[in-house]
A and B are shown apart, each in its own frame.
Chain A
Amino acid sequence: MSVAVGAAGRAGAPWFWAIAGLRRALELGAFLALAAFILGPLLTLLVWAAAGTWLFPNLLPEFSLRWWYYVLGNENVVKAIRMSFLSAPVATLLSAVICIPAAYAFARLEFPGRRLLLLSFLSANAFPKIGLYVSIATLFYRLNLMDTFAGVVMIQLINTLLFMIWIPTGTFRGINRNLEDAARDVGAGPLRTFFNITLPIALPGLIVASLFAFLAAFDEAQGTLIVGTPNHMTMPVMMYTLVLSYPQPVGAVFSVLLSLPSLLFLLLAQRYLRAGYLAAGYSL
């Protein structure tokens, strides 16, 4: 941020830009504004989550964790949490099992319709999802998948496909084929080459893809609402109910709970996150 501003300043600088102290103050101001824009709502959320009651004249609420006890003591909420932490990992794992071999094929093999097939994984995200879910719901009625765990997992799976295909395809394509040939050369068969050479080298990219996929599955609300109600509600679905029919701190507490996995994973993923992995996937 500050670097970009500094560079622009040198090109066609207004007069006050030359004063170092003023410039630094402006940069700091811009940084704080950006931070407030991004972190402000999150901060409010945190304050609300720790609020007992928050009435008009008070600047800060009275501190209390009673809404946490309330939320975590609610049987439906706990059920939804359990459902979320069960279905999202299963969907991610299934997605990996299906998509990683497919991504390898997209990256390494030439077959008719390769480009079209690769693009088709984008198609689920190319239309308004709600229409898609309704038609899936009619299909699920026929197949007796409505209000089942399998149905919810399948809906979440759809949301992970994009990440699990495109990122690993780019990752595999970025691995020089010579590395695989060299393994064959010293005596490794195709499977051993994949597991001992290709997979370890691709691992950072695959981890990043899995994290994105997990978050996409974890975050899914629309489809699960249609397919999973009333007995298979996940946390984001529960959110609708909580926001609509409970006091404000309940929603805040739940929001914090909902963002915890994302926060945790982003911290974990930092090591592996490189802009290249995302960009590489988007070249046909």
Chain B
Amino acid sequence: MARLSLRHLTKTFGAQAAVRDVTLEVRDGELMCLLGPSGCGKTTTLRMIGGFALPDAGDIQINDRSVVALPPEQRPTAMVFQRYNLWPHMTVAGNIAFGLKLRRLPRAAIAERVRDVLGLVGLPGFSQKYPHQLSGGEQQRVAVARALVLEPQILLLDEPFSNLDARLRVHMREEVKQLQRKVGITTVFVTHDQEEALTIADRIAVMNEGVLQQVDTPDALYARPQTLFVADFIGTMNLVSAHADAGRALVAGPWRLALPGGRWPEGAEATLAVRPEDLVPDPQGAPARVRRVINLGHYLLVLLDGPGVPALRMFTEKGASFSEGQEVRLRIARGLVFCGPEVAEIGGPMRPSVAAPTDRA
């Protein structure tokens, strides 16, 4: 039972702000993902929660109690590190029991809890092995067990699967998700892999250059990105520079789109964001030429060049017939318009797509 809240958290390294005024609420039992490109401040944020970095300003509260003044060993958090997790001179049991021994638990109780937690992560009978005898995935599971055995209030995971191969990574994140559901522990998970974030998180906090961009469920993040960065970062997106027109319309390349409300003055610069699945062939649409057709398994990625809008990406069904050099006409079914801090939707929210996230990762 634990809520975590970050209040106006700021951390600077030298002149550079690593984390800028981040305010975030993590609900009890929630799996929150911190997502962003490398250097966006997500790991720094996590390390501040764990106590390994001190914030320059702001507060960290667990169940409304500030923990900023506490060193790592006194915080009710447990962290699973990116790599080199386990102490090489101790057995699996020794690694897991270390924290329990510090708490002066009786020997029998320690043995029982080690056995229980090893069963929980699916490694019964591994207690007497040394870390170098384990595979990467097994090591990470032991690391998770070591964190969970102390029954922390908050579980922190710092890109825990980044050094595993792709197949194992997919398997491990499913396992961690199920484990997290079973234990019901409040979890903060850092990753730069949006596919990972979209598949396991209850909510995702997208960060860029130390600034929190948007906090939302994976669906909402995909359908209604609130900043241009999120629109570009999550899934695949066509970005077309555009400007507002006198007649309540937006001109983007060859397209002229009706703007709901028509709130921007004539000539205002904007960016139109369109998902590849929202580019639809239509005899009434604007002209474009097919540059390449890429077969991505269960769907096709078609690269198109329109007048003034090069390299548009379109997803279509596998059966669709496109050939290189072919002239087509395209309509924009849905889109988002970013003008300064404002966002406008054209044709309703974007549909979450199975294909979209994997294409980018």
A189 to B52, CA, bound (A): 13
Contact of A186 among B51, B71, B78, B82 (CB under 8 A): B78
CB-CB contacts of A166-206 with B at 8 A, as 1s and 0s? Answer: 00000000001011011111111100100011001100000
What is the CA–CA distance of A188 and B99 in the complex, to the nearest angstrom?
7
Cβ of A40 to closest chain B Cβ, rounded Å: 42
B158 nearest CB across to chain A (Å): 9
Q: In chain B, residues 47-100, which have Cβ atoms closer than 8 Å to a Cβ of chain A?
A: 50-52, 71-74, 77-79, 81-85, 87-89, 98-99
Measured between alpha carbons, how far is A185 from B77 in the docked complex, in Å? 7
**Contact between A183 and B81, CB atoms less than 8 A apart:** no
Assembled-state Cα–Cα distance A183/B97 (Å):
11
Using known A-B contacts A179-B84, A181-B52, A201-B89, determine if residue A187 contacts B79 with beta carbons closer than 8 Å. no
Residues of the A chain whose Cβ atoms lie less than 8 Å from the Cβ of B98: 183, 186, 188, 196
Q: Are A186 and B150 in contact (CB under 8 A)?
A: yes
CA distance A200 to B73 in the complex (A): 20
| Chain B residues numbered 83-121 whose CB sits less than 8 Å from any CB in chain A | 83-85, 87-89, 98-99, 102-103
Check B102 against A182 for contact (C-beta < 8 Å): no
Minimum CB–CB distance from B306 to chain A (whole Å) comes to 49
Give the docked Cα–Cα distance between A189 and B51 (Å). 13
Once the chains bind, are B103 and A181 in contact (CB under 8 Å)?
no
> Known contacts being A187-B102, A188-B102, is A178 close to B88, with CB within 8 Å?
no
Contacts of A178 in B (CB 8 A): 81-85
Chain A residues near B150 (CB, 8 Å)? 186-187
Which has the most chain A C-beta neighbours within 10 Å: B50, B73, B79? B73
Q: Quote the shortest CB–CB distance from B71 to chain A (angstroms).
A: 7
Q: Complex formed: what's the CA distance from A148 to B150 in Å?
A: 56
Give the Cβ gap from A271 to chain B, nearest Cβ, in Å.
Answer: 15
> For the complex, is B20 an interface residue (Cβ under 8 Å from A)?
no
Q: Which residues of A contact B85 (CB under 8 A)?
A: 178-179, 182
How far in angstroms is the closest Cβ of chain A from B114? 13
- Greatest chain A CB density within 10 A among B78, B82, B98, B103 is at B98
Minimum distance in angstroms from B102 CB to a CB of chain A? 5
Say whether A201 contacts B88, CB under 8 Å. yes
Q: How large is the interface on A (under 10, 10 to 19, 20 to 34, 35 or more residues)?
A: 10 to 19
CB nearest neighbor in B for A184: B72
B146 at the A/B interface (Cβ < 8 Å)? yes
Instruction: Specify the chain A residue showing the minimal Cβ separation from B52.
Output: A181
Q: B75's closest neighbor in chain A, by CB?
A: A185
Q: Which residues of A contact B99 (CB under 8 A)?
A: 186-188
The chain A residue sitting closest to B80, CB to CB, is: A182
B89 shortest CB reach to chain A, Å: 5
How far does the Cβ of A206 sit from chain B's closest Cβ, in whole Å? 13
Is A201 within 8 A of B52, CB to CB?
no
Instruction: Name the A residues within 8 Å of B143 (CB-CB).
Output: 182
Instruction: Determine the distance from Cα of A50 to Cα of B84 in the docked complex, in whole angstroms.
Output: 55
Min CB distance, A180 to chain B, in Å?
10
> Closest approach, in angstroms, between the C-beta of A197 and any C-beta of chain B?
6
Residue numbers in B under 8 Å from A200 (CB-CB) = 89
User: Chain A nearest CB: distance from B77 CB in Å?
Assistant: 7
- List the A side residues contacting B73 at CB < 8 Å: 184-189
B-chain residues with CB within 8 Å of residue A187 when the two chains form the complex: 73-74, 99, 102-103, 150
- Which residue among A183, A184, A185, A201 has the maximum number of chain B CB atoms within 10 Å of its CB? A185
Residues of A within 8 A of B52 (CB): 181, 184
| A residues less than 8 Å from B72 (CB atoms) | 181, 184-185
Contact A182 B83 (CB under 8 A): no
Which chain A residues border B77 with CB–CB below 8 Å?
A: 185
B286 shortest CB reach to chain A, Å: 53
How far does the alpha carbon of A185 sit from the alpha carbon of B46 in the complex, in Å?
Answer: 13
CA distance A233 to B114 in the complex (A): 58
Q: Name the interface residues of B138-165: CB closer than 8 Å to any CB of A.
A: 143, 146-147, 150
Structural contact, A185 and B87, CB atoms closer than 8 A: no
Q: Are A201 and B102 in contact (CB-based, < 8 A)? A: no
Pairwise interchain contact A179-B87, C-beta atoms closer than 8 A: yes
Report the minimal beta-carbon distance from B54 to chain A, rounded to whole angstroms. 13
Q: Is the CB of B146 within 8 A of A183?
A: no
**Most chain B C-beta atoms within 10 Å of own C-beta, residue among A178, A186, A188:** A186
For the complex, give the distance between the alpha carbons of A186 and B82 in Å.
Answer: 16
- Rounded to whole angstroms, the CA-CA distance of A201 and B130 in the bound complex is 14
Complex CA distance for A188 and B78, rounded to whole angstroms: 12
Over the window 1-17 of chain A, the binary record of Cβ atoms lying under 8 Å from chain B Cβ atoms (1 yes, 0 no) is: 00000000000000000
The one of B71, B74, B87, B103 in contact with A182, judged by C-beta atoms closer than 8 angstroms, is B87
Report B90 CB to chain A, min CB distance, Å: 8
- Across chains A and B, which 6 residue pairs bring their CB atoms closest together, nearest first? A186-B99, A176-B84, A184-B72, A178-B81, A187-B102, A187-B73
Which chain B residues have a beta carbon within 8 Å of chain A's beta carbons? 50-52, 71-74, 77-79, 81-85, 87-89, 98-99, 102-103, 143, 146-147, 150
A to B CB contacts below 8 Å, 21 in the list: A179-B85, A181-B50, A182-B85, A182-B87, A184-B51, A184-B52, A184-B71, A185-B50, A185-B51, A185-B78, A185-B79, A185-B147, A186-B99, A186-B102, A186-B146, A186-B147, A187-B73, A187-B99, A188-B73, A201-B87, A201-B89
Beyond known contacts A184-B72, A186-B78: 5 more, CB 8 A cutoff: A182-B85, A184-B73, A185-B51, A185-B73, A185-B78
